[in-house]
Each structure stands twice: as C-alpha cells, then as structure tokens.
Amino acid sequence: MSPVCPASPHIFDYSDLIGKPFANHGRGPESYDCYGVAMEAFRRCGIELPEFWISCRDESTIEKTILAEKKSGRWIRLTKPQVPCLIVFKFNSKEDKLNHVGTYVGFGEFLHISEGSGVHVSRIDHPYYRNIIEGYYIPAGCEVKQ
C-alpha cells in the first residue's frame, strides 16, 4: 500500500526510485544523493524543496546548512513523522555531525540512499536508525503544485 500525500490528491509512488545508484550531487533521474532523493520524493507530493549544492562528503558544510535552515524558520520541527517529512540524521558521521537526510514515506518507513545500496527503504524503528535520527521536519512556506 502506498501512502497518500496531504499536499496532493495522488498516491505517493516511489517504487521506480528503488535501486537507483548514488552519485554526489545526483538529482536524478539516473542517480541521486540523499538530498536529491528527498527533493524527488517531495516533488512527487507536490512540494518543491530549495536546492543546496553541497558535496556529500563535506559534513561540516552539510551540518552548517541544516542548522542555518532550522534557525531561519524555513523548516518546522515535528513531534512525529508525517508524509512527507524530512528526517535528519547523523549517519556514519566521522565528526558526529548532521550529515544525512531521508524522507518519511509512511508506515514507519523512510526513503533514502547509500553509496553501497542505492535508493532503498528502511524503518525508523530499526535500532540503528532510531539512535541516529536528529528530528523530523516539514518545510514552512513551500510551494504546493496545483
């Protein structure tokens, strides 16, 4: 069963993204990075996310950007995930920094990408992910396609 996006009357179908390979600065449709997957997932729900061209290996800049975006009020922190929302992680961070995002797709699952597995779905209640999730966010003032 696919979740329904509140921003769109359409079913949120992401099945064609599964298995797409990782590429730094990847924005699809052939390859993605973690933010590229999030942009595409939100786009399918009728929400356009802003572009950030940051290397996936630049943890300091990623964290600074996430913190600045949160402080700006452009993102609203949620107490629990909703479809769609951005999940922010400290994912295999060598420097203990916020460095990864995924998109909540409902039913306790999120869509994200890794270099080895490509785009895939994981569970937010998995012990590993549960311990590295920093928060759930929805963009404030985002454009919704009609």
- Contacts for 54 with CB less than 8 Å, ≥ 6 apart: 35, 61, 62, 65
**Residue 138 to residue 130: CA distance in whole angstroms:** 19
127 within 8 A of 63, measured Cβ to Cβ: no
10-68 tens-digit pLDDT: 567 899 999 999 999 999 999 999 999 999 999 988 888 888 888 888 888 888 888 88
Q: Architecture of domain 15-140 in CATH? A: Alpha-Beta Complex (3.90)
**Residue 69 to residue 64: CA distance in whole angstroms:** 9
Q: Write down the pTM of the prediction.
A: 0.86
Q: What is the mean pLDDT of the chain?
A: 85
Average pLDDT for 91-113: 87
The DSSP symbol for 20 reads P
